[in-house]
Amino acid sequence: MKFAIFASGTGSNAEVLIRSAQAGELSGEVALVVSDKPSAPVLAKAEALGVKAELIRPAAYKNKAAYEQELVSRLQSEEVDLVVMAGYMRLIGPVLLSAYEGKIINIHPSLLPAFPGLDAIGQALQANVTVTGVTVHYVDAGMDTGPIIAQREVALEKDDTHEMLAKRIQAVEHKLYPAVVKQLLNEKLGEES
């Protein structure tokens, strides 16, 4: 089984997934890391770990459909079975969704449906909630609206700053995401045998 990771930023979840796959903890390999941002540290991290990393810039294509068709072509050429979003900051459109329906997952730093979209951690702090968390979900046409696969709670503490809460959420993400990817890859292997 092969999976691709899409990321726009530092790539901490991508790195955890790559290392988990390379350690044999996942029944699959990372075939490709894709970023839409030329300055994204995830590209260098992936290459340093020996994984093919590609910058595919949306601005280089005439529209979103053409951009996504290029993504689909790259994914198919690498025989990717699952697409794992790890801080990829773009809404997925119909071209990619239809080609990989039910095969794209995302991780989000809140207990969805609460605090979708950008800066979920800031939203949780501003709302003064006592609990937030992490959600892994299938990607659909909405913003963080796809069916939920798994969630884990993270308590807010009275003196939490954005950075403190982000670190605790990230620690949960780094355990939950590999576990979910492992489960999905094992299910796909079961379907094939």
DSSP string, the chain: -EEEEE-SS--HHHHHHHHHHHTT-SSSEEEEEEES-TT-HHHHHHHHTT--EEE--GGGSSSHHHHHHHHHHHHHHTT-SEEEESS--S---HHHHHHTTT-EEEEESS-TTSS-SS-HHHHHHHHT-SEEEEEEEE--SSSS-SPEEEEEEEE--TT--HHHHHHHHHHHHHHHHHHHHHHHHHHHHHHH-
Sheet holding 131-138, edge to edge: 53-55, 29-35, 2-6, 82-85, 104-108, 131-138, 148-155
Span 116-141, mean pLDDT? 97
Residue 189 pLDDT exceeds 80: no
Percent of the chain beyond pLDDT 70?
A: 97
- CATH code of the domain occupying 2-192: 3.40.50.170
pLDDT (tens digit per residue) in 17-58: 999 999 999 989 999 999 999 999 999 999 999 999 999 999
pLDDT (tens digit per residue) in 109-121: 999 999 999 999 9
Residue 138 pLDDT exceeds 60: yes
Write down the domain spans for the chain: 2-192
- Residues annotated as part of the active site: 108
Average pLDDT, the chain: 95
- Residue at token pair 């068709």: 69
Residue 191 pLDDT exceeds 80: no
